[in-house]
A = this chain, B = another copy of it.
Amino acid sequence: MSKTQKEYQKLHVLSKHARILQGISSHLDWDQETYMPFGSAAIRAEQLKTMAGLIHREKTSQKFANTLSKLIDLSSGELIAQDLTPAQSSAVKEWRRDYLQDTAMPAEFVEEFAQLTSQSVLAWRNAKKSNSFQQFAPFLDRVVTMNRKKADLLGYQNHPYDALLDLYEPDMTTAKTKQIFDKLKNTITVWIRKISTQKIENNFLFGKWDHDKQIAFSHQILNAMGYDFNKGRLDFSSHPFSSASHPTDSRITTRIHPSSLMSSISVILHEGGHALYEMGLPQNLYGTPLGDACSLGIHESQSRWWETRIGLHKSFWKHFFPILKNTFPGRLDQVHLNSFYQAINKVEPSFIRVEADEMTYPLHVIIRFELEKALIEGSINVREVPEAWNAKMKEYLGITPSHHNEGCLQDIHWSMGAFGYFPTYTLGNLYAAHLFEAFAKQYPDWEQRISTGELNFVKAWLSEHIYQHGRRYSSRELLKLATGHAFNANAYIRYLQDKYSQIYQL
């Protein structure tokens, strides 16, 4: 083995050690949301803090830095080693990227940030309960200040928000996001105004839906998707999530809504999509960046792919609607597939992001993006948030929240300090649309195939074009490699237009 290969292997061993600890930490999070007894919360918090400290220590150790420096110049980013494979070169660059990010913030800053956000999450929960933005405002104020400082520590060229966005979606800039989102907003708001006068019946989706039958149906969908229950499981939590401890342990959760039929079905397809990605990452590269997912935006493209592109498509329900009818005998006998399809795709402005339909969803994200960008650049201050929120809701969606808990207090993200995260939700939709055009081109008969209940070829396509590459390519590169074209944000608008002009008069 060459000297370079030896150093690379050494790096892999060090990095895998940290990755294993991260997997343990994810597992502790999973347990906290599913089975942990309530009274264990305090020591669980200490366990998580301890793990975070160990992981940070390993990822920023002198030993790691020394080994990495033998392969790449840490300051310039130029490769030193000449005999790395192209994949290894990508890995080394990503290791450097992570290392610089992990060491950009001094330990005291990281600890202060962690302490503040752990307090502000509590404050947010209480503020939401008592519907009082005032209670949360002083914490949000400090979170914004620390995020500005974080941006300074991480460094940026044009806009401080660039540095934060880069944590979740490398390659993306504030300006580029704004440009994409503006166009999307202008297009969708016009459609929504037109749709607002057109009515679709969806009452039959509500009522009382048996818990166990909902679960049984969920399992059928997951099995059809190719979710491997030998490497995962389905449990319940108040906020659904997918937990990626490692490629052979990718569990998901759902919540069973007793009176809304589509609630858990959407969750299953969404979290199942995240989990398939994790299960499909290359196991032999576990512990290198090549064994990790590409970006949050790409991750979200996978969940939204299954939730919206497959799970809200008529061909999917050609197969599954009869099964759904059998699962709930007598309940949907009078409902025709077309009516069902229209009902599950009903567009209607609403207050809560996580319950929004496919068309209004991006507007919820855009409001948050605009506000957090404004907070970071200082063009508005925290006290102005509620008013600005409501004004944007009125302007984009035509509705005004009556309480802050269905307005600017609804999401946990800001209290967690996660500025820069929200845009990835909508970027995920845009990426999925871009990818889907290539998929549909390769499989012109995809609708027909899906209508027979066959989904394996879908997973296989994603596996070949997304999963297997891990973090080898940036999201921009990956999208191009998978489709042959540079990322095009218009694919999403095209998709919405094609789909919804068949349901509504746009």
Q: Which residues of A contact B (CB under 8 A)?
A: 17, 20-21, 23-24, 27-28, 31, 35-40, 42-44, 46-47, 50-51, 54, 228-233, 235, 245-246, 248-249, 251, 286
Contacts and interface: CB of A to CB of B under 8 A. Distances in A.
Contacts of A230: 37-39
B24 A24 contact: yes
Given A42-B248, A54-B54, A248-B42, A231 B24 contact: no
A51 B24 contact: yes
Contacts of A229: 37
Contacts of A27: 28, 31
A47 B20 contact: yes
Q: What is the interface of chain A mostly: helix, strand, loop, or mixed?
A: helix
| Copies of this subunit | 2
| Residue of A17, A20, A37, A38 ringed by the most chain B CB atoms within 10 A | A37
A21 B228 CA distance: 30
A61 to B, nearest CB: 13
Contacts of A39: 228, 230-231, 248-249
Contacts of A46: 20
Contacts of A50: 17, 20-21, 24
A70 to B, nearest CB: 25
A43 B248 contact: yes
Given A24-B51, A37-B249, A39-B228, 13 more contacts: A20-B47, A24-B50, A27-B31, A31-B31, A35-B233, A37-B231, A37-B248, A39-B230, A39-B249, A40-B245, A40-B248, A40-B249, A43-B245
Contacts of A20: 43, 46-47, 50
Contact of A231 (B21, B40, B54): B40
Contacts of A54: 54
A37 B233 contact: yes
Contacts of A251: 37
B43 A249 contact: yes
19 contacts: A20-B50, A23-B43, A24-B24, A24-B51, A31-B31, A36-B249, A37-B231, A37-B232, A37-B233, A37-B249, A37-B251, A39-B228, A39-B231, A39-B248, A40-B231, A43-B245, A43-B246, A43-B248, A44-B249
A44 B230 CA distance: 14
Nearest to A54: B54
A232 B39 CA distance: 8
A231 B38 CA distance: 7
Nearest to A51: B24
A38 B231 CA distance: 7
A51 B28 CA distance: 14
9 tightest A-B CB contacts, nearest first? A40-B249, A39-B230, A39-B231, A40-B248, A43-B246, A20-B50, A39-B248, A24-B47, A37-B231
Contacts of A51: 24
A228 to B, nearest CB: 7
Contacts of A21: 50
Contacts of A245: 40, 43
A28 B246 CA distance: 14
A42 to B, nearest CB: 7
